[in-house]
Structures are given as structure tokens and as C-alpha cells.
Structure 1
Amino acid sequence: MTSRLPGFYTLPVEERLRLIASLCDLTPDEAHALLPGQGLSLDQADKMIENALGVFVIPFGIATNFLVNGESHFVPMVVEEPSIVASASNTAKIVRKAGGFTATSTGRQMVGQVQVVHCSDWESARQRLLQKKGELLARANEARPTMTARGGGALDLDVKVLNGNGDRGWLPMLVVQVTIDTRDAMGANVIDTMMEAIAPDVEAITGGTVYLRILSNYTDTCLAQAQCTIPAELLGTKTLDGVEVRDRIIAAYAFAELDIYRAVTHNKGIMNGIDAVAVATGNDWRALEAAAHAYAARGGRYRSMTEWEIGEHGELVGRLELPMPVATVGGATSVNPVAKTALKLLNVTHAAQLAEIMVSVGLAQNLAALRALVTEGIQRGHMALHARARQAISSPVKQ
């Protein structure tokens, strides 16, 4: 299977679906789930959220041409913005000619926290908790034995004291922070259950009062990285040579590194692609957004999520590293039939692989935006697609 499908966008929608269903070995039910009104049922929606009235339909498309770690992938994207799928596909084609994206990930470790207040001796309480680390980790794992059976579970525990002097009138507090391997699940419910399980023991050990028992969405222990190296000649346009385009891209990146007003828009473009894949696969795009923007400010100043530089032989080299707490099991990925079909289209076997593809999509989206901005401008292709969308909406529906 190859994700390189020249002229795919020119085919009628029905023919595109037949072709992709054939290439990805979709069952009739899996392909049928992508049709309007055939995916998430009203009964399923009613069980997912409170006060459900219906379902909201957003276009489901695929970005073609992606080559990640030597493997072709069709990338499902759920998004209403006209230019996102097109720009991702076109940029992936350029990167494919240069060998594709190389991606890695650091693991599937997430963090849970227990907040303790009203301790009489903070440092003594901290030491007692560290002495009981083994027992607390065991208690956490007892709460979700299926996670440990899969090779995951609570791995480590640390304790920190916050606001020990009671500054600004706030309570001093002690925070128990547990590192948990969630395997192929996003793990929010697992982590919350574990934190609630150890809370009584934490109170008994410290003599304090537990308030919050909750996961953290700052997942800097669950990272994915992507890189691409593109010869300058592949970047040229009809009016600009590749070296000029490369240098303009570097200047555009520097703008985002130096100025927060530019950095926010620069990074929003990266998340355009990542969020679209997250929605398609039933993942929590809000958690991804929160972690990504926090990670962009981890040095004390909000900066570009990507890095671009000129390589040893004059190539354009791009990198993106972000927290990627995504899942291939559990949550909406298991409930929504469209999400199940999306994961099958992607042809991924585990959550780390999904994370690596998604961060590659973010890098592609950033390159697409920068290349457009420094050459013809963002509006030419963007507004043409908008005009097509408006025309389609205003045209009578064929019966």
C-alpha cells in the first residue's frame, strides 16, 4: 500500500471512498460509517454526553502522501477548514521526495497528582511519603490491575512542597506526583482512579487533608518527535528558487521564535493538523492543545513549537517535539465507529506510532504554512478553497 495517490482529489467522493476502502481493506460497515448519518448514532451520543440532542457533522477527509519512518500512511482528518487537508497532502509529497519524516517517541508515561494541605510538618511528611513509596505504588496498581497486566501501571512517585511559606495568603501544600505508564490508553480515568485509591493512605501517612486527586495534562514524559530534511531545490516555486524559499522560511521561523504575537499564530497552524487527526481518531484534542502550548513555554517564554535550520549541505531541516498523550484503545476511540475506521485507515498498531504520525502531520502543516506565507501569501490558495466551500453551501442540494 502506498499513500501516494496522484489525482486523488479529482475523483468523485464515492470513488475516493471505494478506492480507500479497497486499499485499506475496510469492511462495508467500516466504510459505511463515514457516510453522513451513518457513524455515531443518536443512542451512542446520548450515552457519551448529558442532554444530547443530536450529532454535529464535520467533514472527514484523508491527507495523502505521508511517509513516516519508511511506511506509507493515509492520515484521516476531521476538520471544517478548507485548506488543511490540501496543504498537509501537498507538503507531505515534497517531504516524501526527500525521504519522508523520521519520527520517534519517548514512551507512554503520564502523571497523577494528590494535593495535601494542613500538615503540621511539611518536610517530615514528605520524607514519610517517600519511605512508603513502594506501598503507595502497590496500592495504586491494585486499583487498576488490568493496566499492570498489560505491562503498564504506576512506576514512580515523588513528593514536593509548594508555597511552604504561605505566600499571598494561600495554603502551603504538599503534592504527591505519581508517574504511570498507560500503554495504549490515554489513561485519564486510570490515573484518576489510582490517585483516589492512594488518597486515604496519603492522609494517614501525612496527618494532613487531601483535596485534589487528579491527572495532569502536562505530559512532558510522553513526547513524540518528528524531523524532515529537504533539499533546497524541492522548495522552489515558479517565481522563486529553492534557496531563496529556504532562507525565507528560516526568517519566518525566527519571527515566531522572537515574537509572541507571531508565535501563537505559528503554533496554531501546527495544531490545525494535529487536532484534525485527534478528532478523527477519537482522541482528546483539548488535552493535546493544553500540553502543547504549555510545552512551548517551558523555558519561561512562549516560543515556536518547531525548529528550522539550514543543514550541513544546504538542506532545510525541520524538527517538532510535543507531548502526545494519544490513545488507540478506550474512550471515544472504542465508542465512535468513525474513530475505529480512522484508526484502521491509519494502519497503526499502538499509541506511540499514532503519536509519531501526528507530530509528523504537525511538522508538515507548519512547513506548508511557512512556505505559503513567504511565497505567494496565505490567501491565494486558502481563499480559493473558501470560495469553493461557499459555492457548495449556497448551491441547491441535488435530490
Structure 2
Amino acid sequence: MSDWQHGFYKLAAEERRQRLAKARQLSMDDTTVLANTSSDLGDELVENYLTDYSLPEGVALNLTVNDKPYVVPMVIEEPSVIAAASNGAHRVSRSGGFTAPHQQRLLVGQVVLDQVTDVDKTVAWLNSQQDRILAIANEAHPSMQKRGGGAKTMTVRTPGDFISIDLGIDVCQAMGANSVNTMAEAVGNWLSDQGYHVIVAILSNLATQSLQTAKCEIAFANLATAEMAGAEVAHRIARLSDLAQVDPFRAATHNKGIMNGIDAVMIASGNDWRAIESGAHAYATRDGHYRGLSTWTVEGDHLRGEISLPLPVGVVGGSIGLNKMTKLNYKISGIKSAEELAAVTASVGLAQNLAALRALTTTGIQAGHMKLQYRSLAASVGASPAEIPLVVAQLKKEKHVDQALARQVLAAIRKDGADE
């Protein structure tokens, strides 16, 4: 480790920026950018803090879930995601909206034993100690049980030559990772005292006891384009859905589109989007074959969509109460509970998926993408807010668009303006 890094974490944020600037030869403008986007809160949240890195926030519109309309904050840098979510949501709303019932919500605390001599005997003993083990978990976090939550179930599994004790823990309205870890470690310590070798005691992000389902039906008329009848669009979407169930190459992109919407909602709501992402992809391969998280089928004169995935979300805990934007986002959405957030999030994912599949089966994905990408491209070459629409209008006329062409277009617009 070089000298400038020694004790870096002990420094104040401004001192870190100055030391980094000297070591990495940053300009005065660079250090000014770092300083101007910094915050006291950020310095409290992460190690070796320098500054805040911001992402754009918008809202998905036209979403109806369980007969209630929502405006959903989404944080993401990809231009087309919020537009697609709103488009898909609007088509579903015109056919009655999404249904997403409140479902069981337990997190999994995993305590794993290694070097077990007699697996069958140990499994039998663990099952006989279930009440004691659940009590130990709850004693480690008594306030959770007082709120009606706590350790509720215990399942013993034998993956390979390990023994896994899976605790089903109700964390009420919280994200709950720290609570689950505390309870799992208490059980792990007790088992160690009984002479067992505990290799790990921690939350599992495969929250199969926190599954959320969302469903919708869309009339053919709400799928039609100027060139294609709604029935044809519906059948094409259903076939793409079939492909995502049998081909992991297609399924990966299918699910990426779903997670575009879900991750954006998770970031805006202050949830751990990385945990949700990992759990979703693990769930997609639950039967040993990676599949699409959603399915679409044609039934009568409607296209029917359904999605199920683990959504162990929370509306309190973590950084939710610390971040002013997160708290404001809950005011915007009107979401009051973890159950409601899970229902809305799954519905956004299904709306996102619908919009992507409809685009793929009709105009192609690039047509919609590029309209929004042109705006980003214009901004990247220095176009002002007033110039961006002019640059975009010119780029739409071109067959091959890149940054060099955008610069040429912007230069021409400015020259024309100067000549007038």
C-alpha cells in the first residue's frame, strides 16, 4: 500500500479529497466537483467517503395495483426505462390494472454446520430442538417479537455434506438484514457451545418465503400498433415468453428488463437493490434451469401476464429514515407498508417486461431506445437544454449516429445561429 493511502479512512472528507487529488493529480476543477457534491450524511454511511454520486430520478405513471393508482419514483440512468414502465402500466390500467395480493413475508437466517460425523442423527436432534432454537433466536432480538415478528419457522436441509438450519424470520416492516444476522449468530453461538462446528450464520438473500406475485390481463385492442393487430402482438409476446422459459440466453435478457424496473424502484425506496437482484436471479434457476421470471399466455381475447419473485423489501430500517429523498419518495408514491411496496414493485417489473416484449415483437427495441438515447448523446457533446431538441431532430434523420456526428450536428446548429 502506498504512503498516501495509510490512515486514509481516519481523515476528514475534505482531507481525503485533498490527499487523493495530490496522489492522482486531479485538477482544481476535479476537486471542486468532488467537494460540491459531498454531504455530511454520505460521510456517515460509507468508508473512505469522498462525495455523493447522483442518478436521475423520475416517476412511473399510470400504474394501477389492486384498484389503487400509483405514481412510483424510480432512480436509474438508462433513458428508456421509466418511459417503458409507464407505457406498460398504462396499457394494463386500461384493462383493469394489476392484481398483487399481500403474501407471506419471512426472511431466511441460515446457520450452517460443517464436519458433522452423523448427519442423520444430527438432523433428528436439531428437529427435536426446534422450540429451543426459535426461542434463542427471539431472545437475541426481543423487540422484534414484541411487534408481532421474530423467528417463526425452522427448516433443516442437507446440501452436500453440510447441514443448514434455515430460520424463517418475520421482520415486520423493516428490511431486516441486521436483525436476521443477529438472530442467526445467536443460534450459531449456541450450537457452537453444544460442540458443533458452525461455518456460517447469516441472512440468505434467496427469500423464498417472501415471494410476491403480480398478474394482469390486457385486451388485444390495448396491444395493437398502427401496423399490427393486437391479437398478433399478443401471440408474438406469448412466444417470446415461451422462449425465455427454455433458453437461458433469452431468459437472461428477459429478466434484465424486468429488473430494470424493479431495481429502479428499490433504489428510490432505499432498499438493498443488490439483495433483491441476487435473490431474483437465484429464484429464476430454482429448478436447475435458468428461466424468465414472468410468463405471458393468450387466453381468449386477452394476453395474460404473471410474475413471481422474492421481494423481501422494507419501508423502515437501513438508510431509509436517514435519506431525505427516500422519505419524500414514500410521500410521492403513497406507499405505507412493506407488503404494499412489494405488490407495487412486482407490478412495475411486469409492466416493464410487457413494454419490452411489445417493442421487440413490433417495431424492435432500438426504435424506442434511440429516441431517448439521442437526448443523452446531445447532452454528452455539450448541447444546452435549448439545443438538445434541435440536435435530436437532426439525429433522427440519420442512419448511423455516434458522438462524432452529434458534435458535427451541434456545431452546425451553432453556426447557423451565429449567422442569423
TM-score with structure 2 setting the length: 0.80
In structure 2, the partner of 1:202 is 191
Equivalent position SS for 1:307: strand
Determine the C-alpha separation between the residues in 1 that align with 2:280 and 2:163: 26
Structure with bigger RCO (C-alpha 8 Å, 6+ apart): 1
Contact 1:105 1:223 in 2 (8 A): no
Counterpart of 2:76 (choices 79, 96, 110) is 79
The equivalent residue for 1:220 is: 208
SS of 1:320's partner is strand
| Structure-1 residue corresponding to 2:283 | 295
- How far does residue 107 in structure 1 lie from its aligned partner after superposition? 1.6
Task: Please name the residue that 1:339 is paired with.
Answer: 326
Which stretch of the first structure deviates more once superposed, 299-308 or 152-161?
A: 152-161
Tell me the secondary structure at the aligned position of residue 229 of structure 1.
Answer: strand
Any idea what the Cα deviations from partners look like across 1:278-333, whole Å, max 9, x if unmatched?
Answer: 0111111111111111111112111111111111x321000011100111000021
Rounded Cα–Cα distance in structure 2 between residues aligned with 1:219 and 1:297? 14
**Aligned counterpart in structure 1 of residue 132 of structure 2, from 125, 132, 135:** 135
Name which of 248, 263, 270 aligns with 2:251: 263
Structure 1 residues 156-175: aligned runs within 5 Å: 156-163=153-160, 172-175=161-164
Secondary structure class of the residue paired with 2:164: strand
- Cα distance in 2 for partners of 1:238, 1:119 equals 66
| Alignment coverage as a number of residue pairs | 352
Give the Cα separation in 2 of the matches to 1:355 and 1:287. Answer: 14
Amino acid of the structure 1 residue aligned with 2:377? R
Aligned-residue offset at 1:125:
2.4
Contact persistence 1:106–1:221 (CA under 8 A): no
- Inter-partner Cα distance in structure 2 for 1:269 and 1:352: 23
Work out which of the residue numbers 341, 346, 362 in structure 2 matches 1:359.
346
User: Post-superposition, which runs of at least 4 consecutive aligned residues in structure 1 deviate over 4 A?
Assistant: none
Q: 1:118 aligns with which of 115, 118, 136?
A: 115
What letter corresponds to residue 169 of structure 2 in structure 1? Answer: I
Runs (5+) with no aligned partner, structure 2 = 1-33, 386-420
Q: Which residue of 1 aligns with 2:102?
A: 105
Q: Which residue of 1 aligns with 2:64?
A: 67
User: Which residue of structure 1 aligns with residue 398 of structure 2?
Assistant: none
Task: Give a deviation string over 1:57-77, Cα, whole Å, max 9, x none.
Answer: 100100110111010110100
Match of residue 144 from structure 1 = 141
- Tell me the equivalent position of 2:312: 325
* SS of residue matched to 2:100: strand
Deviations 1:241-300 (A, max 9, x none): 111111111122122222111111111000000000001111111111111111111121
| Residue 118 of structure 1, CA deviation | 3.1
CA RMSD of aligned residues (A): 1.9
- Given the superposition, is the C-alpha separation of residues 135 and 238 from structure 1 closer, same or farther in structure 2, using an over 3 Å criterion? same
- SS of alignment partner, residue 192 of structure 1: helix
- Contact conserved, 1:61 with 1:85, CA < 8 A, in 2? yes
The structural deviation recorded for 1:41 is 6.0
Secondary structure of the structure 1 residue equivalent to 2:278: helix
Contact kept, 8 Å, 1:76 with 1:346, in 2: the verdict is: yes
Contact residue 38 and residue 50 of structure 2 kept, 8 A: no
* 2:44 maps to which of 44, 47, 70: 47
Query: What one-letter code is carried by the residue in structure 1 that aligns with 2:346?
Result: V
Deviations 1:207-235 (A, max 9, x none): 22212111111011101111111110111
How many angstroms apart in 2 are the aligned matches of 1:364 and 1:147?
A: 35
For 1:19-34, what aligned pairs fall within 5 Å after superposition?
none
